[in-house]
Amino acid sequence: MASYIARRKFLAALGGAAAAWPLAANAQQGPRMRRVGVLMSTAADDPEGQARIAAFAQGLQQTGWVVGDNVRVDIRFGVDNANLRKYAGELAASAPDVILAVGSSAAAPLLQATRTVPIVFALVADPVGAGFVDSLARPGGNATGFTLFEYGISTKWLELLKEIAPGVTRAAVIRDPAIAVGLGQFGAIQAAASSLNVEVIPVNVRDAGEVERAITAFARSSGSDGLIVTGSALAVAHRQLIIGLAAQHRLPAIYPARFFVAAGGLSSYWPNFLDQFRRAAAYVDRILNGDKVADLPVQAPTKFELVINLKTAKALGLEMPPMLLARADEVIE
**DSSP secondary structure string for all residues of 158-198:** HHHHHHH-TT--EEEEEE-TTSHHHHHHHHHHHHHHGGGT-
Domains in the chain: ranges and CATH: 2-148+273-302 (3.40.50.2300), 153-271+305-332 (3.40.50.2300)
Series of mean pLDDT values for 10-residue runs along the chain (333 residues): 42 41 43 92 87 95 94 92 94 97 93 97 90 96 91 90 95 86 86 94 89 92 87 84 96 94 96 92 97 95 93 96 95 94
CA atoms of 65 and 15, how far apart (whole Å): 14
Q: Hey, which residues does 98 pair with through a beta bridge?
A: 36
Kindly report the three-state secondary structure assignment for every residue of 47-100. Answer: HHHHHHHHHHHHHHHHCCCCECCCEEEEEEECCCHHHHHHHHHHHHHCCCCEEE
Instruction: Provide the 8-state DSSP code for 329.
Output: S
The pairing of strands 225-229 and 253-255 is parallel
Alpha helix ranges (H) inside the chain: 2-13, 47-62, 81-93, 104-113, 153-164, 180-193, 208-221, 233-237, 239-248, 258-262, 273-288, 310-315, 322-327
- Report the distance separating Cα 36 and Cα 242, nearest Å: 36
The pLDDT assigned to 31 comes to 66
- Which among 260, 333, 300, 33 is positioned nearest to 144, based on CA atoms? 300
pTM recorded for the entire structure: 0.75
Question: Given this model, what pLDDT does residue 30 score?
Answer: 53
Specify whether the CB–CB gap between 101 and 107 falls below 8 A. yes
Q: What is the pLDDT of residue 20?
A: 41
pLDDT score recorded for residue 182: 77
Calpha distance 242→231 (Å, rounded) = 13
